[in-house]
Amino acid sequence: MAAVPATDSAETLYAAARAWRDDDPDPTTRSELESLLASAESGDEAARADLADRFVGMLEFGTAGLRGALGAGPNRMNRSVVIRAAAGLTAYLKQEGRAGERPCVVIGFDARYNSDVFARDTAGVVVAAGGRALLLPQPLPTPVLAFAIRHLGADAGVMVTASHNPPQDNGYKVYLGDGSQIVPPADADIARHIAAVEHVADVPRAHEGWETLGERLLSDYLDAVVTVVDPSSPRDLSIVHTSLHGVGHGTVHEAFIRAGFAAPVAVDEQAVPDPDFPTVAFPNPEEKGAIDLALARAREVRCDLVIANDPDADRCAAAILDPATGDWRMLRGDEVGALLGAHLVARGVERRDVFANSIVSSRLLAAIARAAGIRHEETLTGFKWISRVEGLRYGYEEALGYCVAPDLVRDKDGVSAALLLAELAAGLKAQGRTLSDLLDDLAAEHGVHATDSFAVRVEDLGQIDTLMGRLRAEPPSSVAGIDVVRLDDLSRGDGGLPPTDGLRFLLSDDSRVIVRPSGTEPKVKVYLEVIEPVHTRDDLSRSRALAETRLASVRADVERLTAL
């Protein structure tokens, strides 16, 4: 069924809404659409605008799969959209697979609203199409699903999750048999199969016949994930952990116990999965205030380290006691990325090993790799790219995603990253040192790499095109008084990367600015980095202060340049 552009007539919009309603297998969203349609037809302009937004187009299937607000209509997450997606994926797998073989899909889900329903719908479509569907036994972290794909020899995996998005959202993340998220051209091929579905009623669905996996899978994942730490390394470490109302609590705690650490101290108010995320404004550890309860708990129990996972536990945040202030501060994703990279180097790397991070992440990891004599690769944003780097030993992106064991999970994994960070902190503690001391070491050796980011949120997606178009048509010749010496238009593939919408400005003092639209939210994201040399260890405080001053100047000017 074709979605109706918002510019079409009211009657065309209403006809499309009626057709979608009549084809909707879910009585809840069918009733929702019926009520909205009645209000719109009676002259309610707000209802008509809402209806038009729901039918502005089909929720786009891309390299992140699907993600959007729950609700009725083609531009929302609902059973009709999910069934179409499952049918398209299964058709793609049958087309790409060997003749006569049943495609096997392993399916996971988190604890968000309708995640279990969407997972069962997917299983029913796969089974009815002659495939084999393996359903995870309970809401579990995304890394468990990513692990299961190769562990079970599946042809694809589906994880029903919206990760760190707001409570009203859900999503549908697709992996292929290599355990990595889909990339072009597979995403476009699957999208074409989805578009070929005329009516949901035409999609065969089984109501039984899939296999619900037992507890053995989670145990296998845990047995595998604890191998990221050295059995002989120190374990004396006290940790506070929060899962932010997501599904990571049980898995993380069991992983720490199996690895020989003391069980983390839980933030009880956030330990039980809750799709409303009642104690946080936004269930993303990056957001201001999200880990306040964890920090308060840390002050009570006087622990060594705070670890936070996002709701599907594929990201890992950390906080440390800052010696400069005597209070806790959250580490930036780039700081954790550098710490883990340095730790892996110290444990031993081989010349064939490769470190990688996304273009929006700090260049400090590249410096660490260079000093260690190993190759470093820069990729587009997202683990769908990072995980595919040939010879990858370690990869990260600044948005709290770390792949520390690509032979186990070819995606970001907040559980294994937490274990590795804890091993590093425990080893430093045994030496009378801290993570803050190691950050000082890295700055003294490679220079202060100060990073920052901000987002320009939009009400109308057209504003994103306007902003990006303006920066392309009238690029600044300088930023904060520093000359722009190179402009990479990433949409043209500048820099040798696959084309993507984004701009990278390199300044004469080695500062860097990257502007790109978000792939999952209505906003433009801006990433900043300055590098300040450190001539002697005694210069470290001065160099940090200079770097922060330069960074603040760059940010102020870029905020002006990106204002709507």
Written out in words, the top-level CATH class of the domain with range 447-561 is alpha beta
Identify the band that residue 4 occupies on the pLDDT scale cut at 50, 70 and 90: very low
Mean pLDDT computed over 79-96? 97
pLDDT higher than threshold 50 for residue 393: yes
Torsion of the alpha carbons at 298, 303, 306 and 311, rounded to the nearest 10: -70
For residues 169-191, b (16+ Cβ closer than 10 Å) or e, as one string?
A: bbbbbbbbbebbbbbeebbebbb
CATH match of 220-428 with 3.10.180.10 = no
DSSP 113: T
pLDDT of residue 296: 97
Q: Which of 453, 458, 66 is nearest to 286 (CA)?
A: 453
pLDDT of residue 394: 98
pLDDT tens track for 281-336 = 999 999 999 999 999 999 999 999 999 999 999 999 999 999 989 999 999 999 99
The DSSP line for 211-253 is EEP-THHHHHHHHHHGGGS-TTS-----EEEE-TTSS-HHHHH
Minimum mean pLDDT among 381-385, 456-460, 477-481, 517-521: which range?
517-521
Written out in words, the top-level CATH class of the domain with range 61-212 is alpha beta
pLDDT tens track for 478-487 = 999 999 999 9
Helix runs in 304-455, H state only? 333-347, 364-372, 383-386, 414-430, 435-446
pLDDT of residue 6: 44
d(CA 73, CA 17): 7
Report in angstroms the alpha-carbon separations of 435 from 303, 318, 423, 442, 508. 14, 11, 11, 11, 32
pLDDT of residue 21: 98
HEC per residue, 356-395: EEECCCCCHHHHHHHHHCCEEEEECCCHHHHCCCCCEEEE
Identify the band that residue 98 occupies on the pLDDT scale cut at 50, 70 and 90: confident
Identify the band that residue 459 occupies on the pLDDT scale cut at 50, 70 and 90: confident
61-212 and 447-561 agree in CATH topology = no
169-176: strand order across its sheet: 66-69, 169-176, 156-160, 104-109, 132-135, 211-212
pLDDT of residue 61: 84
| Catalytic sites, residue numbers | 163
Q: Determine contact, residues 122/88, Cβ cutoff 8 Å.
A: no
Domain boundaries, the chain: 1-57, 61-212, 220-428, 447-561
**For 110, phi and psi rounded to 5 degrees?**
-100, -160
pLDDT of residue 139: 98
d(CA 552, CA 361): 18
Minimum mean pLDDT among 207-211, 324-328, 361-365, 518-522: which range?
518-522
pLDDT higher than threshold 70 for residue 561: yes
Identify the band that residue 8 occupies on the pLDDT scale cut at 50, 70 and 90: low
d(CA 72, CA 385): 32
